[in-house]
């Protein structure tokens, strides 16, 4: 069997998308197009795109600015928060620099307090995210989405109509459908591509500002993968891994590398940059656009929700659909909600699904790569 040879340039283009987008972002600003930056999968981007704004993800995944952040923030805080704040404070993130407003959300205590400090040097709009998925919580979240719309209207002196929002919902649903078709190629066994190449497209797509162009581009990649798979181009048979836990990207890609360089293949991602953010569409038949958006976003199965059945429901489906042999959970140090939830995930994977599970706790340094390789190699050999 042969590994795909002709697609890497496409995957690299997506991998470089974040860097390439720095220039594209400046061009947008020169044209007077508003830019809205955000840090979380709960961000209802359709409201911003409905007014013609570009949206961009600001989460930073490098330890480059953590020392700067630790001048203000505790050392024993989650590296994602410290990195995000450090890049903002040190002005080392072009996306943050060009954002007219940054949208935060009350997901965890660390981020909530970090946004307070960030608001001292940037316009920050904080959305009050409930920590449950009850009907009462839905009412609050819907009112927050409406409050966000009204904030944008006032700040940018525009009117955002419900028709504008419907159009934005339709366009973003098309993007989700295409990305879902793309990650579903990994249902093939053996896998057609590596999980790292799959991740490059999923992560890189968030930095393409012309959302309407994404479906055709991604559909073209899917067609090429399927055609080459039919011709026999695929990976050798490997243990099939589901990666779950904290957001992956940048420095934490070391976990994907540890899995794939030691004989496994990541066939599906349950975390924020994977299925969690793409799996469900906004209901376009719902006459109330704010209710439709509120229901879709509040249903995301993040560990900040109590209880969190939607994460287990998604894990359940992914393990079956992708014929998963083992689950690797990556948690970041001091990410309390995900670290506490590892017990429930381990029980679910071991007892309900009957497959092996391992949790690796890490940060954004490269100091633990040797240990990561040792632990993951032993886990893969057990499979």
> For residue 20, what is the domain's CATH number?
3.40.50.11890
Asked if the structure places residue 124 within a domain, the reply is yes
Residues 200 and 311 occupy one common structural domain? yes
CA distance 61 to 87: 10
Q: What is the number of residues in the chain?
A: 383
Same domain for 289 and 370, yes or no, is yes
User: Of 131, 159, 187, at which residue does a domain stop?
Assistant: 159
Whether residue 1 lies inside any domain: the answer is no
- Sorted by sequence, the CB contacts under 8 Å of residue 252 that are 6+ apart come out as 61, 246, 330, 332, 362, 364
The answer to whether residues 298 and 344 belong to one domain is yes
- Residue 70 DSSP code: T
3-state SS track over 322-337:
CCCCEEEEEEECCCHH
Q: Residues 37, 135: one domain?
A: yes
Total domains in the chain come to 2
Q: Are residues 228 and 122 in the same domain?
A: no
Closest residue by Cα to residue 44 from 337, 213, 290, 247: 290
Do residues 169 and 138 both lie within one domain? Answer: no
On whether the CB atoms of residues 13 and 200 are closer than 8 A, the answer is no
The domain that contains 210 carries what CATH number?
3.40.50.11900
What three-state secondary structure class fits 80? helix
What pLDDT is attached to residue 1? 41
In terms of domains, do 185 and 70 share one? Answer: no
Strand partners, 199: none
The pair of three-digit structure tokens given for residue 287, joined into one six-digit string: 């006459």
The helix or strand, by DSSP H or E, that contains position 85, with its residue range, turns out to be helix 79-89
Same-domain check for residues 81 and 206: no
The verdict on residue 2 lying in a domain is no
Q: What pLDDT is attached to residue 9? A: 76
Please give the C-alpha separations between residue 83 and each of 53, 70, 93, 107, 317, in angstroms, as whole numbers: 25, 9, 11, 17, 33
Are residues 331 and 307 part of one domain? yes
3 located within any domain: no
Per DSSP, 352 falls in state I
Say how far apart CA 236 and CA 218 lie, in whole Å: 24
Q: Tens digit of pLDDT per residue, the chain (383 long)?
A: 434 445 767 777 776 777 788 888 999 999 999 999 999 999 999 999 999 999 999 978 899 999 999 999 999 999 999 999 999 999 999 999 999 999 999 999 999 999 999 999 999 999 999 999 999 999 999 999 999 999 999 999 999 999 999 999 999 999 999 999 999 999 999 999 999 999 999 998 988 899 999 999 999 999 999 999 999 999 999 999 999 999 998 899 999 999 999 999 999 999 998 999 999 999 999 999 999 999 999 999 999 999 999 999 999 999 999 999 999 999 999 999 999 999 999 999 999 999 999 999 999 999 999 999 999 999 999 99
DSSP SS3 for 127: strand
- Specify the pTM: 0.95
Which domain covers residue 97, as residue numbers? 9-159
| 175 is a domain residue | yes
Q: Is 268 helix (H, G, I), strand (E, B) or coil?
A: strand
In the structure encoding, which two tokens stand for residue 300, read together? 């995301």
- Residue 127 has phi, psi (to 5 degrees) of -95, 135
Question: CA-to-CA distance for 96 and 67, rounded, in angstroms?
Answer: 18
CA angle 338, 343, 349 (to 5 degrees): 100
In a domain, 185, yes or no: yes
Token pair for residue 292? 């439709």
Do 202 and 132 lie in a common domain? no
Domain assignment of residue 320, yes or no: yes
Q: Is residue 56 part of a domain?
A: yes
- Shared domain check, 259 and 117: no
Sign of CA dihedral 298, 304, 309, 314: positive
325: its two tokens? 């042999």
Phi, psi of 176 (to 5 degrees): -60, -45
Separation CA 318–CA 241 (nearest Å): 11
Nearest Cα neighbor of 247 from 95, 102, 111, 76 is 111
Boundary residue ending a domain (124, 159, 194) = 159
Look at residue 124 and give its three-state secondary structure: strand
Q: What pLDDT does residue 2 have?
A: 39
Question: 315-333: buried (b, 16+ CB within 10 Å) or exposed (e) per residue?
Answer: beebbeebebbbbbbbbbe
Same domain assignment for residues 126 and 31? yes
Looking up tokens 């955000």, which residue turns up?
Answer: 38
The CA distance from 113 to 25, in Å, is 28
Single residue among 136, 159, 182 that ends a domain in this structure: 159
């Amino acid at each position: 069997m042969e590994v795909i040879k002709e697609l890497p340039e496409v995957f690299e283009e997506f991998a470089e998308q974040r860097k390439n987008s720095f220039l594209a972002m400046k061009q947008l600003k020169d044209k007077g197009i508003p830019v809205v930056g955000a840090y979380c999968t709960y961000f209802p981007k359709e409201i911003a795109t409905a007014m013609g704004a570009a949206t961009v993800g600001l989460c930073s995944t490098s330890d480059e600015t953590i020392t700067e952040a630790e001048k203000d923030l505790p050392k024993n805080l989650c590296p994602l928060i410290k990195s995000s704040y450090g890049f903002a404070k040190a002005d080392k993130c072009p996306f943050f620099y060009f954002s007219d407003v940054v949208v935060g959300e009350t997901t965890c205590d660390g981020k909530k307090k970090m946004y307070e400090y960030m608001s001292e040097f940037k316009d920050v709009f904080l959305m009050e995210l409930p920590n449950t998925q009850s009907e009462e919580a839905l009412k609050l979240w819907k009112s927050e989405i409406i409050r966000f719309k009204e904030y944008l209207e006032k700040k940018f002196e525009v009117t955002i109509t419900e028709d504008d929002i419907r159009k934005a919902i339709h366009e973003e649903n098309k993007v989700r459908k295409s990305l879902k078709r793309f990650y579903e190629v990994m249902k093939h066994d053996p896998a057609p591509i590596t999980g790292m190449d799959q991740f490059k497209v999923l992560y890189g797509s968030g930095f393409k500002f012309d959302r309407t162009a994404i479906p055709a581009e991604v559909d073209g990649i899917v067609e090429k993968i399927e055609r080459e798979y039919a011709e026999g181009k695929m990976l050798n048979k490997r243990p099939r891994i589901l990666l779950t836990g904290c957001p992956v990207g940048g420095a934490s890609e070391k976990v994907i590398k540890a899995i794939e360089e030691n004989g496994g293949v990541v066939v599906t991602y349950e975390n924020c940059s994977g299925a969690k953010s793409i799996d469900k569409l906004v209901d376009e038949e719902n006459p109330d656009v704010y209710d439709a958006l509120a229901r879709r976003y509040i249903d995301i199965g993040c560990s900040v929700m109590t209880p969190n059945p939607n994460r287990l429901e998604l894990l359940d489906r992914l393990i079956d659909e992708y014929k998963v042999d083992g689950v690797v959970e990556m948690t970041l140090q001091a990410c309390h909600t995900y670290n506490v939830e590892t017990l429930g995930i381990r029980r679910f994977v071991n007892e309900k699904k009957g497959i092996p599970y391992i949790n690796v706790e890490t940060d954004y340094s490269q100091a633990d790569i040797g240990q990561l390789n040792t632990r993951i190699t032993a886990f893969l050999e057990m499979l």
